[in-house]
Amino acid sequence: MNRPAFDLQAAAGTIRTWLDEADRVMITAGAGLSAAAGYDYGDEDRFRVLFPALHRAGLRSRYMVGVPLPPALLWGYWAVHIDDIRFSAAPNPLYRRLRALVGDKDHWVMTSNVDGLFARNGFAPNRIFTPQGDYGRYQCATPCTPATWDSRPLVARLLAAPDPATGAVTDPDALPRCPDCGGEAEINVRIGPQFVDAPYLPAGRRLQDWLGTAPADTRLLILEFGAGFNTPGVVRWPGERLTRHFRQARLVRVNPAHPDTPGDLADRALPVPADAHRLLDALTVPHPAPEPGAAL
């Protein structure tokens, strides 16, 4: 059965009302938000530009780089990928518009994304919880220690030693080792039980305190963007549980592919089958002016 036509303008009016009435706002986000912001892991054209050697070898998107690769080739990929998505200095208009939307409301961010785009576009770093990690850090692969290290110098070293024909790192000494034990290292993102979560636990505790000190009748508005079913336990399901916990909470689920909301939340949940750009346009959130010297 076909779904009834969706009225985006009517949804935008409801969201504006809910935002005005909210005591607190919690923004939650999955990969769909960064894809809408220009970092789509399935984008074949961008993959071909950034990784020509891997494209010639038959890979077509970043999602396909889950296949086993030799360390020199894997780290060559990681360096370009992380430099592109994590260390770009240019402001991102979509994330800046989202920051403008919440304005002075008391708010927090929880995201499964590891690209740092919230903190780089006006959101307070001490109010962002990233339980899946951060491309900006690396760790021991064992791990021998709960310590993690800044990945920027590592990425710069790897980018200085590429083989244009293969995309591999040509200098074995540039490949990362654990600074503590000398063993293998990996990016500090959740890919298995060896993930070191120590850098993110303080933010998680602050978020829990923020939620735990809120009265049961707090008008909490959860704005969820681009969170599907790859890791629903990180963003999607916790948002539903919080909406049930606070009796006056409301949930807005912005997702062009998976907008459905639980039936038991009834008129306290609003599914929006659109991407963040379309919704922000409907909400008439202004486009920020480019910062001086920013790439256009």
Strand positions, DSSP E, 67-198: 106-111, 128-129, 133-140, 149-150, 185-189
240 vs 268: CA distance, rounded Å: 10
Does any domain span residue 45? Answer: no
- Domain range spanning residue 274? 9-38+92-131+197-287
State how many domains the chain has. Answer: 1
Prior bond of 288 cis (ω within 30°)? no
**Using one digit for the tens of pLDDT, what is the confidence trace for 60-118?**
999 888 768 899 999 999 999 999 999 988 899 999 999 999 999 999 999 999 999 99
Average pLDDT over residues 23-42: 96
For residue 3, pLDDT over 80 is answered with no
> Does some domain include residue 211?
yes
**pLDDT greater than 90 at residue 285:** no
CATH number at residue 247: 3.40.50.1220
The answer to whether position 180 is within a domain reads no
Q: Where are the alpha helices (DSSP H) in the chain?
A: 8-21, 31-36, 44-50, 52-56, 71-85, 93-102, 152-159, 201-212, 236-245, 276-282
Give domain status of residue 23, yes or no.
yes
Q: In the predicted model, is pLDDT for residue 1 greater than 50?
A: no
In a domain, 81, yes or no: no
pLDDT value at residue 292: 44
Read off the pLDDT of residues 180-195 as tens digits, 9 standing for 90 and up.
Answer: 999 999 999 999 999 9
pLDDT in tens, 215-233: 999 999 999 999 999 899 9
* Dist. CA 35–CA 280, nearest whole Å: 15
Query: What does the pLDDT look like over 221-278, one tens digit per residue?
Result: 999 999 999 899 999 999 999 999 999 999 999 999 999 999 999 999 999 999 999 9
What's 289's DSSP letter? Answer: P
The token duo for 252 is 């807005």
Give, as one character, the DSSP assignment of residue 23.
S
Per residue in 147-178, pLDDT (tens digit) is: 999 999 999 999 998 898 999 999 999 999 99
- Whether 102 is covered by a domain: the verdict is yes
pTM for this predicted structure: 0.93
Q: What's the whole-number average pLDDT of the chain?
A: 94
